[in-house]
A and B are shown apart, each in its own frame.
Chain A
């Protein structure tokens, strides 16, 4: 019965020239990120003036609150027409395995997206022969930020490896800089960890950690915690009380030399703090990860049972299109997931990230939902707390492996 209705709906959708009805878009883009979404919605309304768009946002960075609301809605059998979700395992491990999403492979074929997006990204979006969401933007996780003028003053250069970094850290400490690395609350510490892990394990080792081929208790993986502990010794002790913006502020004010943060920091420094990218502040891949692009991506999926399916599909088409991505991303401070977007629309940081996006090896971020399911990721915070409390690499590694076993990571 439902299939019939869907078929009729689709048929009507294609035949009718003017789409009507509603479209409910569920996301956590409010506040600073609101204008980017609104621009995209305006574009949608130009194309489909008859459709009433309901912009259902639930505020809270990285969707911490939105995801909880979405779960209660989905469990209650009231899915939105389309919802924002971090591309990769955060979607797959929660919604795809539970059979709540529609496969979008045919849409990808029809729109030519299999060529438009890099293969590394398509791989992260795929599971059991299907492709499950349309990525609208790309952020990079493994970036190190600094102020060039300050580094010249201190007489140091951006370190290329973590060993380099630790040496530079000692130099800076001798020059009276108490905490050369600025760090914030728990999730930014996990964010730092994934950069350290990527450098220590390499891109292949990192991928193997998530498909279960490399155990967390393997000496190589335990070594990550070793290095991480040493790196933490370079960081401020009041980290737990700082937001990521406050950690960036430390670098800008010259109280710290480096900060490892995703490239939304570029948006914060250029838009909010009015600094000029490339001259006032600069960036490099986090130590030991040059040539690797650790990505995270916001994407939209199509839940089964969406009330306005055709409108949602039109939305997905717009989200994946060159026009849609080039409207959204300059405002959001991210880059397009497509390889053919127009560099002229982006600032200096965006252009440099686009170059790397096209040439680098692509891997997924842990903290931002690309490589591990939520059941693992949410408990990784506990692993981090165990390490911070005990400073014992083996204990942290054991806990991580226990959680990996419990949630069936890589299976």
Chain B
């Protein structure tokens, strides 16, 4: 009992601090996002602004308001950026780790070289890559060193988009993606022999896909077609981000590879596994937990990205816009504090979607132990 009281007293200050400075302010931000702060210029920057409750109006404007087209493109940008950044970083990191794990000459040197970019801040990386990606210099003139004609991809300055879709199709695509994920879960449950999970995931996936294919196609968020897509200007940003963070995944994977007991590998060899089979059936499954933690770390970096794009393309350039940048623009330049807060809440939800399942599964594991 006494121990408990001491423990409680010791924890109390940090609980109070976290309660006020994290959850308290999240709560305040939520309230601001439901208010009209910024709509009325006489109140926007008054000493004591009087706020009106407007419910979900700010969110509605962001997703289907006429002037917030830039927010929608920024969301599309963020999704593509996150996908390609994670895939690139994990893939390159794994390749580097496997190469280094084979113990080439100068391994320690290369390990440092690959890890070094992580020591830089995104602002430094962004500035360097901004120079490298100038259309008339840097990367584009690289081939001329070997006597080839220069590239002429305009990198950050292009306005071209690929994989263009109509924003009105968003509910359909979202439902499709979630439905397919659920279907995958069902398949896994089936393999694991978990009847109950199989049933529920199959049912919800079926309903969702049915809705997507019938009613979902007819929902119209906007009265007109609004094309959005993957803007190619992001390729340069992704390149810089992958360059910076792949050393980190390399370090993680290298530690994982080194942690695999030699006996297991030898047992696989004795069983006659080829090299590829060893990787596919022994090493990669053992690296899965590392991939998961790397995904969480990279995922939340990608979702909150701001400084890299700020340094590479500035705030005013829509083709490389992400929600965090648009939030800053709206709140601190345009005085639209409520709408900025709404974007903040949306970003929090996005990151929570990545982090909370991970934390939950970790906690469950700890309890089991």
Contacts and interface: CB of A to CB of B under 8 A. Distances in A.
Q: Please determine whether chains A and B interact with each other in the same assembly.
A: yes
Most chain A CB within a 10 A radius of its CB, from B41, B134, B155 = B41
Contacts of B135: 238, 241
A239 interface: yes
A241 B134 contact: yes
B299 interface: no
Contacts of B41: 93-94, 97-98, 373, 375, 407-408
Given A185-B316, A186-B316, A407-B41, A238 B333 contact: no
Contact of A378 (B130, B319, B333): B333
Interface residues of B, number: 37
Contacts of A399: 66-67, 69
A64 B315 CA distance: 10
Contacts of B45: 71, 74-75, 94-95, 98, 100
Given A94-B44, A379-B67, A239 B314 contact: no
Residues of A contacting B: mostly: helix
Interface in B300-322: 313-319
B156 interface: yes
B67 A68 contact: no
Interface stretch (A306-314, A330-338, A358-366, A381-389): A381-389
Q: Which of B155, B329, B332 has the most CB of A within 10 A?
A: B332
Interface in B32-58: 38-39, 41-47
A77 interface: yes
A15 interface: no
B66 A98 contact: no
A375 B66 contact: no
A95 B319 CA distance: 32
B43 A98 contact: yes
B43 A389 contact: no
A72 to B, nearest CB: 8
Given A374-B335, A385-B70, A98 B46 contact: yes
B336 interface: yes
| Candidate in B39, B43, B70, B154 with the most chain A CB atoms within 10 angstroms | B70
B156 A240 contact: yes
A397 to B, nearest CB: 12
B157 A402 contact: no
B314 A185 contact: yes
A99 interface: yes
Contacts of A186: 314, 316-317
A406 interface: yes
Contacts of A374: 333-335
B332 A68 contact: yes
B332 A381 contact: no
Residue among A67, A240, A379, A388 facing the most chain B CB atoms (10 A cut-off): A240
Interface centre among A99, A378, A386, A408 (most CB of B within 10 A): A378
Contacts of A406: 39, 67
B165 to A, nearest CB: 15
Contact of A385 (B318, B328, B330): B318
B336 to A, nearest CB: 7
A241 B130 CA distance: 8
Interface string B54-72: 0000000000001101100
B220 interface: no
Nearest to A398: B66
A158 B135 CA distance: 29
Given A237-B157, A388-B159, A378 B329 contact: yes
A379 to B, nearest CB: 6
A399 B68 CA distance: 10
A268 interface: no
Given A98-B41, A186-B316, A385-B318, A237 B154 contact: yes
B154 A238 contact: yes
Nearest to B70: A382
A264 to B, nearest CB: 18
Given A186-B317, A240-B157, A382 B47 contact: no
A97 B66 CA distance: 26
Given A75-B45, A186-B316, A375-B41, A241 B67 contact: no
A367 to B, nearest CB: 11
Contacts of A97: 41-42
Interface string B147-179: 000000011110100000000000000000000
Nearest to B334: A378
A381 B314 CA distance: 12
A334 B72 CA distance: 41
Contacts of B330: 378
Contacts of A116: none
A161 to B, nearest CB: 29
A187 interface: yes
A49 B268 CA distance: 85
Contact of B42 (A71, A99, A240): A99
A403 interface: yes
B316 A68 contact: no
Contact of B69 (A94, A95, A241, A386): A386
A70 to B, nearest CB: 10
Interface string A74-106: 110100000000000000011101111000000
A100 B46 contact: yes
B333 A98 contact: no
Nearest to B66: A402
Q: Which of B39, B157, B315 has the most CB of A within 10 A?
A: B157
Contacts of A304: 47
Given A382-B69, A399-B66, A241 B156 contact: yes
Contacts of B69: 382, 386, 399
Which of A74, A99, A389 counts the most B-chain CB atoms under 10 A from its CB? Answer: A389
Contacts of B156: 240-241
A382 B325 CA distance: 13
Contacts of B136: 238
Contacts of B319: 240
The residue in B67, B155, B335 that gathers the most chain A C-beta atoms within 10 A of its C-beta is B67
A94 B335 contact: yes
Contact of B38 (A68, A99, A375): A375
Nearest to B45: A98
22 contacts: A71-B332, A75-B45, A93-B41, A94-B45, A97-B41, A98-B42, A185-B314, A238-B135, A240-B156, A240-B317, A241-B157, A374-B333, A375-B335, A375-B336, A379-B334, A382-B67, A382-B70, A389-B318, A399-B69, A406-B39, A407-B41, A408-B41
Interface of A: 64, 67-68, 71, 74-75, 77, 93-95, 97-100, 185-187, 237-241, 304-305, 373-375, 378-379, 381-382, 385-386, 388-389, 398-399, 402-403, 406-408
Given A94-B44, A406-B67, 10 more contacts: A68-B328, A68-B333, A71-B45, A238-B135, A238-B157, A240-B157, A240-B319, A241-B130, A375-B335, A407-B41
3 closest Cβ pairs, A-B complex? A385-B318, A186-B316, A378-B334
